[in-house]
Amino acid sequence: MVFGLLAGGVFLLTELLPERAGLWWIFGAICVQLRLAGNMFDGMVAILKERASAVGELYNEVPDRVRRASPIAMVPFGVTQMLVIGEHDSIVPKSQADGFVDAARQMGDSVEVTTILGAGHFELVDPSLGGFEIIRGAVLEALEPAWSE
């Protein structure tokens, strides 16, 4: 758990101190591997001693569930993805979307990105605002081949 939290902090440093981003990525990768090794050893000890920790599920399952909920951890999807982001989105900032796009493309996925100028996060799903119409149009366009069959 400690190494998982440490890895998260180190990965944050890649954005805060970009001049040393390469070093932070390497250190973060090492922390991730140490977290995985700790999880594996914990499981081995539990099996050999036929014991379970009172909080074992918390440490063993929660990180895996978080990883399964993370889109960047699940690429490639094998389908074209359309990302629509708000220029001023503070919930899913452009840097986070760019990270996903880079990861998806590196894994062979096709990703189209549209940035709505002047929009934040919720303006994209509010039908009374312009960002919603762009998303609606993109979804209808993506569904059109399925309708024509």
For residue 48, what are its two tokens?
Answer: 């050999």
Question: Is the pLDDT higher at 54 or at 143?
Answer: 143
Give yes or no for residue 31 having a pLDDT over 60: yes
Distance CA 104, CA 2 (A): 28
Distance CA 95, CA 115 (A): 12
Percent of the chain with pLDDT over 90: 9
pTM higher than 0.85: no
Look at residue 52 in the predicted model and tell me its pLDDT.
62
Q: How far is CA 134 from the centre of its chain?
A: 23
pLDDT digits 0-9 by tens, 70-109:
888 888 999 888 888 889 998 888 888 999 999 999 999 9
- DSSP element (H, E) containing 98: helix 94-106
* Helix/strand number for the chain, H first, E second: 6, 2
Give yes or no for residue 55 having a pLDDT over 60: no
Look at residue 103 in the predicted model and tell me its pLDDT.
92
pLDDT digits 0-9 by tens, 105-134:
999 999 988 888 888 888 888 888 777 888
Give yes or no for residue 54 having a pLDDT over 70: no
Distance CA 27, CA 10 (A): 7
